[in-house]
Structure 1
Amino acid sequence: MKKIIQQLTSSERILLASHTNPDGDAIGALLAMGLALEKLDRQVTLHNESSIPAVYRFLPSVHRIQKQLPDPARFDTAVILDCGSLNRVGSNADAIKTIPVIVNIDHHTTNSRFGQYHLVDVDACATSEIIYRLIQTMGLEIDASIATAIYTGILTDTGSFRFSNTNQAAFTICEAMVAAGVKPSAVAQHVYGTYSLGRIKLLNLALDSIEISNNGYLSIMTVTQEMLADTGTQPEDADGLINYARRIRDVKVAALIHELENGPGAKGGPKQFHVSLRSDGSVDVSRIATTFGGGGHAGAAGFSMASSLAELKQTIYNLSDGFGESCQIN
């Protein structure tokens, strides 16, 4: 950590980036680190190439997160947050690689230790926990804005303290963040309390798409581009839907297959999908994800793939043989 602090304090222009399709931890860590570094009068740019899910747009300074990557030659340091590999930042990974110094801060067990400096703690409940400790060590004030970002990151990555990654630090840090000005009821209202009508309609379609393996150990939920168009929703509105599939009785692993918009030149080619995986704790889904170039935690992981929907479903079912009896599409 000492070398990372020396690098950050000696840098003038810093890029902060987190993974595509960001969750609360990716956004919370990004904002907290960015706001903290500005207290050192550094020029800080926040980047995430995906749209920010509506439930997180209440966070202080979230409007400053840029989808377009500025000229990487402007920066002397890049801090990559909550990413198991640099490619998780998305299409700008190669451009970010040209920045002279890359600092990798993460808590995923599948982290590849990329970058010149890495602060990876797989025992941390969230990357936001690591950011909290880093800010504390740097002696920077944690004001209400930074505290709200850290609190939201920990709250969401622990599933409101329900997931197995919930540790003592999660409660200790959140208590300190409340003392710094966080209003837990307000955060919960934004993150869990309100939904647009379109998202409710999307949820209805997603629930109707659920398929269960013959042995009942695996559930698959699908969100297609057609479903998004029919409900007038955005890709980020699919955030959290997988939890409904995971909570089905006897299900050990839930998969959400999310059809992405095909990029330039993809016309006529295989469709692009992102697969989110969630486990009840009996299956390490990070091992499944890494097989396809993804990553994550034992209980939550993901990967992307070009395929037909039918072939992708069958691939997932074939991988589920280790859950119990052979799983095939109903």
Structure 2
Amino acid sequence: MVGEKDGMARADAPGGGVPAGGPAEDGEFAQVVKTLQAGRRFALFLHLSPDGDSIGSTLALGLALERLGKRTVWVGADLPGDAYRFLPASDRFRLWNEVEEDWSQYDAAVLLDCADLDRVGPARAAIERIGRVVNVDHHPSNRRYGDVNYVEPGAAAVGEITARLIDALGVPLDTAMAYGLYTAILTDTGSFQYENTRPGTLRLAARLLELGVEPQRVSQSIFDQRPLRVLRLLREALGTLEVGAGGRLAWMTVSRAMMDRVGAHRGDTEGFVNYPRSLAGVEVALLFVEEPDGRVRISWRSNREVDVSRLAARFGGGGHARAAGCTLAGPLEKARVQVLQDVARYLEEQATEAAGPSPGPGGPGPGPWGGGEGPS
């Protein structure tokens, strides 16, 4: 899924990391800066169901470019969820098809935290009108689809890269930008709990606090103030929780019917996959979400050992070692069985390798989900 070699950088350097120093990596980062300096009009695109990294990084870079006198528009096929309304300038985000723009007049489309151009959904039509694409990301599975690409898998969040871009552009960070960057980093590190949290990540977070970010305001808005419909949807989703593969695999399902019953929005399932992930003994957690068009969006998480980006890649997806995603054609039950069988088989093979050679033939083993469990 990855094309040419990704641009790497040190995520543990002061301020969240600096380009690693190799000619290709330095050149790619510098090319992004040069492109942003040279253009006058930029359209910044969110990916589908935008998360805190996509939203916060886009907001911060958009404000920085405007400080340089450039015109920007921030659009996507999905708007940020209610949890991100606290962000300064969050009302600037627009649905791409509700903006009356001549897209061909923009110098470039800028995509942050978007591993695949298909992740922008129908907004891709606007990007194709613009023509030139700047792709800045930290997913190892990034397809390097841009005319200008900078991919840094070592970054905890694209927010780290965005902070360095803003510094390289010579724009002083202000409080509004700092809120965007802090939101990006907080969400992609699981509140600084995930293994992608490095010393440079925390140094950058400290810098953002010094600029006026109130951490309790951010965490409460994102994690502790959910609409009633989200909790009602979570109640239904938890009722689907199942465990297999000897307790190493857990999954939940959100059908379209569930979402319609509670009036849920597309992004309301954000974070749901962490519930099966939190079960003791679980290594791989999955969330199956049925989309309005019948496709099935799957969120993948792992705890310690399994690189779920490689498993998701088998189904055309990708991401990080501990967090990945993919989308399959429906129906929901078919997609779920297909994925669960593959993951259970992988976990069984992994367990067999860890146990060493089999002592000999025996009775029948467990089914493909282990221990007799299966999807229902």
Aligned equivalent of 1:322, options 346, 353, 356:
346
Aligned equivalent of 2:184, options 120, 145, 153:
153
- Counterpart position of 1:29: 57
- Counterpart position of 1:268: none
Q: Distance in 2 between matches of 1:43 and 1:114?
A: 24
Give the 5 Å matches for 1:50-65: 50-65=78-93
- Counterpart position of 2:157: 126
Q: Is structure 2 residue 248 aligned with structure 1 residue 209?
A: no
Q: Partner of 1:103: helix, strand, or coil?
A: strand
**CA contact 1:277–1:302 (8 Å) conserved in 2:** yes
Gaps of 5+ in 2: 1-28, 352-367
Q: Distance in 2 between matches of 1:322 and 1:231?
A: 36
Q: Partner of 2:79: helix, strand, or coil?
A: coil
Task: Give the residue type in structure 1 aligned to 2:182.
Answer: Y
**CA contact 1:225–1:260 (8 Å) conserved in 2:** yes
Task: Give the residue type in structure 1 aligned to 2:78.
Answer: S
Task: Give the residue type in structure 2 aligned to 1:294.
Answer: G
Q: Is structure 2 residue 264 aligned with structure 1 residue 240?
A: no
Displacement of 1:214: 4.3
Give the 5 Å matches for 1:172-211: 172-211=203-242
Q: Is structure 2 residue 103 aligned with structure 1 residue 72?
A: yes
Displacement of 1:322: 1.3
Deviations 1:159-217 (A, max 9, x none): 01111111112101100000011011111110112122222111111100112114221
Q: Distance in 1 between matches of 2:227 and 2:123?
A: 31
Displacement of 1:233: 2.1
Displacement of 1:257: 0.6
Q: Distance in 2 between matches of 1:217 and 1:53?
A: 32
Give the 5 Å matches for 1:1-330: 1-69=29-97, 70-262=101-293, 271-320=294-343, 321-324=345-348, 326-327=368-369, 329=374
Task: Give the residue type in structure 1 aligned to 2:260.
Answer: A
Displacement of 1:144: 0.4
% identical aligned pairs:
37
Displacement of 1:71: 3.7
TM-score, with normalisation over the residues of structure 1?
0.94
TM-score, with normalisation over the residues of structure 2?
0.83
Deviations 1:87-130 (A, max 9, x none): 11112224413423211100001011121211111100000000
Gaps of 5+ in 1: 263-270
Which deviates the most, 276-285 or 49-58? Answer: 49-58
Displacement of 1:310: 1.6
Distance 1:214 1:284, change over 3 A: closer
Deviations 1:55-111 (A, max 9, x none): 112111111111124442121111111011211111222441342321110000101
Please say which structure displays the higher CA radius of gyration. Answer: 2
Q: Partner of 1:215: helix, strand, or coil?
A: helix
Give me the CA root mean square deviation. 1.4
Q: Distance in 2 between matches of 1:90 and 1:71?
A: 19
Q: Distance in 2 between matches of 1:190 and 1:259?
A: 26
**CA contact 1:125–1:166 (8 Å) conserved in 2:** yes
Task: Give the residue type in structure 2 aligned to 1:322.
Answer: Y
Q: Distance in 1 between matches of 2:261 and 2:267?
A: 15
**CA contact 1:294–1:303 (8 Å) conserved in 2:** yes
**CA contact 1:86–1:93 (8 Å) conserved in 2:** yes
Task: Give the residue type in structure 2 aligned to 1:310.
Answer: E
